[in-house]
Structure 1
């Protein structure tokens, strides 16, 4: 046996043979114009050239193991020229050079099978295609538990000569399991991720500062980060020249490279000089954000002219066309009004799960169509199929099935989606996407029926009800579209009610009762059950947090200690169960959600608890001794606390309001406080109240992202009280948090406290927060911040006061 196979054969030999349905072809073999191949007469896999790619090595090994299990014999793997023997012959040729990369031709030859492809990727695709359609191999999920056999293998194969071409050249779900991706014929090959920080390196900022963005009074140094580095100055000829040199150098050093990314860094730190203002004027908005598409893609056009028209780097050493990738992202999502260089590869970014909103769906379809009519030879799409970090089943099969054919119809050939899958929660999502990316004309109902029937056996209908309930509930209740709505939002679980989660759990329990506890179906249902348990324990944790927040807001409420204890318990149960489960590779991506810093409102309840109860149990008193001591001092002698920040009443001068840059709006002068924000259509900052012609406090509406913050120099004492008075209306997906960061002598934030996220809905009057805090010994300063993101229609935040006071002990 070829040594390549030894690591794989055992896996498939132990997999069960399950005859369930007669195999149905998808145009792959046919009684007309077809020739008969007797499977057991095939003796070998003949590869004309030495295998170079790991993908083809993997495909040959997988295929041989599958063949041994289903047909009953191993195929000898040989490297030789074609011989007149019955074999599966893999040949590279230019026969399909006009077809998409990954295409292949398959036909009968001397009683064997001949596969032609331009690249090894096409040969690998052919083997997995045969494994899928002839042998009935399915990889619905990663790991051996995700594998299933479908149907019966015929003794004779009527093979019709066919050219098989994928619907999309690039088919990538990131970061899907590598083997899952290879076996389901996913493919990469083009570069277009955020990249400008790797071109505009920090060392150049001192040498040629004008090629970088000028941000007015904001002094942000480049650090080589594609997340935090400002964009280059897209209007500067030197910036065009540097980007061109980087692309030219890359292509010359990598003669086989088909693309180079010019995509902006993942932020909105654009240049604010007059040149940029002129380039984006008259200023327009798209999806409530400034429209920088023309300026961004004009920069790309100029680079492309230098790389292709002047340097002549049109082709790879294999004769393939080259492209410069550019994300149509955030402030550059709108279609351009300028012609595009044909070798610019625009990547249309959109969360098409939001197609549940008919207004957004129609707008997005029109946007795709407009991009499809541009001069770009090749177009791509970037989607957000998450998966983790959502802590619940984010089902969207309807919109995957609708959007992929529409994208392909409008010339989109490159597809990428983020999908760190929580397999038990995502169910058919990843596998369905792989099948449609290969062939958008697949019958979606057929695919879903197959997935549920074959993967869950007799539990098919019950578990399908679980996933479909999650999808229908999201479609009906998620509301107006927003970009990756509820992404990394601790309150996003509120999309589901307790009764809906209980109904979904009942479907899982019904499904489990329908299968044998020793079966693989039971094991798969156990994965679904475990994953959904994470949803349930997180829901209980967040509900306990909301219960405590209601107590804090209601000065007449009782039972504060019980609510704190319940929150502690539910948080511990959530964290403990999560840590137990994420070691399973099918649950591991839940760690994406674990990275989200959760707010902890327990300190916010200490003053209310002392006011409510005459005596406090000793265990609780000992656990929160320092916080309760500060709270007691505050209740009995608040006048002895000393303010450590300036202007706690947020007195503001709107007469002296100034624009930070041409995007506006005018920002009032607020002594001792700083304001940062992301420009957005209709974003406003107004006074909360007027007293004796003096504006006090702030009212924030229509914010995309807003931050109000100040720094306090700490005293030797470590006891502090943070107070705030806030009124708000918060729609789902809006996040408003009060935070505090402890800063050391070196100016480094070493500990961040997310104190409270204002609950959804309208506050009942003014929320008054009184929060005892103990500064760490090494803390020299405290940064106090109020952050507001994603305000919806009708939302507001009114901040009357924020104070930070030092205790007297």
Structure 2
């Protein structure tokens, strides 16, 4: 049977459309074949833990649907007209996905769809009940669907319709099926997870739920999508609903590959020669040294330890070869001989050649025993640029660490793109490690459009893994929602996503004021900050421990922000909208207290009608709010302002 495919989202423009019945009848088999060839020609082969299909969204209409109703009703006037079917050998994760589907349909419509195992459903005589099959592969023996299934990434999914009574939500893995369930809820019920926690859910009230019979095939643009620094169950669950999935390992880890506790006495030569002396790290220094990569036997020791890890964790696909978090590298002659002799774009000595000479040998030997494994690494500090004289093993995925907000300056963007492309030319696949910190900043750091711009660029240059270090401040509203949405598909329309978020969060009447509030701070960070003395080209990220970005804040910035958020609260209608507006306003009060106290105490720019006590009180409020937020699962600041690490934030 012929399958007519319509690409809804292509590389730079993804607007949905469907093929009408009349057009379906007119399209010939030869044209269908041509379309299929075009689609296949755009499927890049990606070297990764599992092959990923292209980041496109496809709706598939087939002649099965011609002459039949164009939608399937699963709830009718508050009554369930469908049941949810699970495999008899259902896993806990798959069962949870079915319960989430059941729960949100009930929240929306009041109808509770029964959940049954397949063999129990077979005993039921009612064949006219709509069935939503969760986790079943409906493509077995169906040649028209086999290609769709085979092109699915582990996180991708299919939503397929058979006749008038069967809906299939399925992925190759439980993760893919789960994301298919979330997509189903978002697409057909309008559910959104805007912020963590119950108040962050947006669930429209529907008496009747009709599901259009348009088959969907979807893969993520980035194989890995991650936001780091989340705190607590609510924040983690929120991220999963928005399709976060950490799939690679890449963090600082060489202290586990060559553990000092095992080798400090038996093989002191494994440790770096620094200032003419062998540095044997203590437990407190576990992350403050790099191995001597040319030491005799160090490759064999690493291989032994990594193979032991995979033996103990046979289901693991990745192992991290991330260098330790230090610039203390070995200074022995053999290591130096491998170096390029120059400095990288961060102004640091380039040690990539010695590191990858060692890493390539380790990976090659591990793969002889465990041929399906992958290895993450950090293109960080002294490893910021690719090696000059050696290749990078195709099973090593380097994560380029950089804060790409800095790319708002064209010269920095140009340099950063050259580095990305150099790694992309050297490696089979590349990862990005970005810094979009919420805390410890004392202002909302907003750059929605800049974020979308560099996500799209990265995807176009074979960046397939995203890791974002965030430590969120949820006073930044849609920032993290937008990040995860764009990590799934960077070609989505940013302004549409933002409008959708604002209206769902606080209602249509209040939404324009919230949009103005965040647009104001987007201009601050993308237009005003790059011209400030605080903004620097130096380093991989902006100096977040230095609060002098507050130097350019004005009292008008703060008063106008308060006016906008108070208007949002006043115009919010439902209790859910009021709750979300209250969260944003309460988070702003920390920004407000920080900026005003800084202006008055640090910069001595005091308003004529405000006393010294006013500024002291605002400063005290900062600390009171931080303490209050410790007990709030949404507003908690993940990074504590201790005096040791953040002395300049304590004024």
TM-score (norm 1): 0.64
Q: Does 1:493 align with 2:555?
A: no
2:387 equivalent in structure 1: 336
Equivalent residue of 1:89, what SS? Answer: strand
- Say whether residues 1:126 and 2:126 are aligned partners: no
More strand by share: 1
Residue 59 of structure 1 corresponds to which residue in structure 2? 97
CA separation in 2, counterparts of 1:296 and 1:133? 47
- Shift in Å, 1:467: 1.0
- 3-state SS in 2 of match to 1:74: coil
Alignment match, 1:257: 316
Q: CA deviation at 1:545?
A: 4.1
Of 63, 80, 84, which residue of structure 2 is paired with 1:45? 84
Select 2:474's aligned residue among 423, 427, 432: 423
CA distance in 2 between partners of 1:139 and 1:447 (Å): 13
- Pick closer, same or farther for the CA change 1:58–1:173 going to 2, 3 Å: farther
Q: Does 1:582 align with 2:635?
A: no
The answer for the alignment partner of 1:445 in structure 2 is 495
Question: How many Å separate the matches in 2 of 1:410 and 1:160?
Answer: 32
Q: CA deviation at 1:335?
A: 2.7
Query: What residue number does 2:375 align with?
Result: 324
1:244 aligned to which of 286, 303, 309:
303
Aligned-partner Cα distance in 2 for 1:399–1:245:
44
In 2 relative to 1, CA 324–473 (structure 1 residues): closer, same or farther, beyond 3 Å?
same
Aligned partner of 2:269 among 203, 206, 210? 210
Give SS of 2:484's match: helix
- Select the residue among 123, 132, 136 that pairs with 2:190: 136
What is the aligned partner in structure 2 of residue 88 from structure 1? 132
CA contact under 8 A between 1:491 and 1:542: conserved in structure 2?
no
Structure 1: gaps of 5 or more residues: 1-22, 316-321, 551-561, 601-734, 736-753, 757-809
Q: Deviations over 1:571-607 (max 9, x none)?
A: 423212332233222210255345765548xxxxxxx
Q: Is the 8 A contact 1:175 1:420 kept in 2?
A: yes
1:453 Cα offset (Å): 1.9
Q: Aligned partners of 2:602, 2:455: CA distance in 1, in Å?
A: 39
- How far does residue 150 in structure 1 lie from its aligned partner after superposition? 5.0
Go from structure 1 to structure 2 and tell me whether the alpha carbon gap of 1:38 and 1:522 turns closer, same or farther (over 3 Å shift): closer
C-alpha separation in 2, matches of 1:28 and 1:514: 39
- How does 1:310-389 map onto structure 2 within 5 Å? 311-315=368-372, 322-337=373-388, 338-376=390-428, 378-389=429-440
Alignment map for 1:713-752 (pairs within 5 Å): none
Q: Label 1:162 to 1:524 Cα distance change in 2 as closer, same or farther (>3 A).
A: closer
User: Could you tell me which of 302, 307, 311 is aligned with 2:366?
Assistant: 307
Partner residue of 1:185? 243
Structure 1 residue 75, shift from structure 2 partner: 2.1
- In structure 2, the partner of 1:719 is none
> 1:283, CA displacement in angstroms?
2.2
Aligned residues: 557
Q: Deviations over 1:196-225 (max 9, x none)?
A: 112222221121111111112677542346
Secondary structure, in 3 states, of the residue corresponding to 1:170?
coil
User: 2:44 is matched with which residue?
Assistant: none
Cα displacement (A) at 1:534: 0.7
The secondary structure found in structure 2 opposite 1:234 is coil
Question: How far apart are residue 139 of structure 1 and its match?
Answer: 0.2
Match of 1:523 in 2: 579
Please provide the CA RMSD for this pair: 3.0
Listed one character per residue, the Cα deviations across residues 238-288 of structure 1 (whole Å, up to 9, x for unaligned) are 222222212211122222111100101111111112222222142233222
Cα pair 2:185 2:191 within 8 Å, conserved: yes
User: In the alignment, is the contact (CA less than 8 A) between 1:171 and 1:415 conserved in 2?
Assistant: yes
After superposition, what is the alpha-carbon deviation per residue over 1:55-111, rounded to whole angstroms, capped at 9, x for unaligned? x34322221011123344222222225856631112355963543211122211241
User: CA separation of 1:592/1:214 partners in 2, compared to 1, >3 Å: closer, same or farther?
Assistant: same
Alpha-carbon distance between aligned partners in 2 of 1:219 and 1:545, rounded to the nearest angstrom: 48
Q: Partner residue of 1:705?
A: none
Q: CA deviation at 1:373?
A: 2.0
Query: What residue is the counterpart of 1:101 in the other structure?
Result: 154
Q: Which has the higher helix share?
A: 2
Match of 2:252, SS state, is coil
| 1:595-621 CA distance string (max 9 Å, x none) | 765548xxxxxxxxxxxxxxxxxxxxx
Secondary structure of the corresponding residue to residue 108 of structure 1: strand
1:572 to 613, 617, 620: 620
Greater RCO, 1 or 2 (C-alpha within 8 Å, sep 6+): 2
Matched, 1:194 2:194: no
SS in 1 for 2:433: strand
Match of 1:432 among 482, 486, 495: 482
1:293 counterpart (336, 340, 352): 352
Q: For residue 117 of structure 1, what is the aligned residue in structure 2?
A: 171
Q: Contact between 1:168 and 1:438, CA under 8 Å: does it hold in 2?
A: yes
Select the residue among 117, 142, 147 that pairs with 1:79: 117
Structure 1 contact 103–165 (Cα < 8 Å) conserved = yes
| Structure 1 pair 350–42 and aligned structure 2 pair: CA distance change class (3 A) | farther
Measure the CA separation in 2 of the matches of 1:472 and 1:131: 34
- In terms of Rg, which structure is larger? 1
Select the residue among 520, 529, 532 that pairs with 1:478. 529
Give distance in 1, aligned partners of 2:517 and 2:637: 21
Q: Which residue of 2 aligns with 1:463?
A: 514
Structure 1 residues 347 and 66: alpha-carbon distance in aligned structure 2, compared to 1, 3 A threshold: same
Larger CA deviation: 92-101 vs 271-280:
92-101
1:290 match: secondary structure: coil
Q: Distance in 2 between matches of 1:333 and 1:295?
A: 13
Distance 1:100 1:596, change over 3 A: farther
The Cα offsets for residues 126-167 of structure 1, whole Å up to 9 and x where unpaired, read as: 111101111111001101111113586864322222321111
Contact 1:196–1:264 under 8 Å retained in 2: yes
Q: Tell me which residue corresponds to 1:170.
A: 224
Give the distance between the partners of 1:439 and 1:112, measured in 2 at CA. 28
Deviation at 1:187, TM superposition (A): 0.8
For residues 229 and 239 of structure 1, what CA distance do their matches in structure 2 show? 18
Cα separation, 2, equivalents of 1:332 and 1:91: 42
Cα distance in 2 between the residues matched to 1:470 and 1:324: 39
Gap change, CA 1:271 and 1:42, over 3 Å in 2: farther
Deviation at 1:327, TM superposition (A): 0.7
Output the CA distance in 2 between the equivalents of 1:396 and 1:295. Answer: 37
Contact kept in structure 1, 2:471 and 2:639, CA below 8 Å: no
Residue in structure 1 matched with residue 39 of structure 2 by the alignment? none
Q: Say if 2:344 and 2:384, in contact at 8 Å, map to a contact too.
A: no
What is the aligned counterpart of 2:563 among 489, 503, 506?
506
Compared CA separation, residues 511 and 114, structure 1 to 2 (3 A): closer
Distance 2:363 2:409 in 1: 37
Q: Is this contact kept in 2: 1:230–1:270, CA < 8 A?
A: yes
Question: Does the 8 Å CA contact 1:86/1:112 hold for their aligned counterparts?
Answer: yes
Tell me what 1:229 maps to.
288
Task: Report the Cα distance in structure 2 between the residues aligned to 1:342 and 1:417, rounded to whole angstroms.
Answer: 23
Question: Alpha-carbon deviation of 1:30?
Answer: 7.9
CA displacement at 1:421 relative to structure 2 = 1.4
Q: CA deviation at 1:536?
A: 1.8
Greater Cα shift, 31-40 or 367-376: 31-40
C-alpha change, 1:527 and 1:594, in structure 2 (3 Å) is: farther
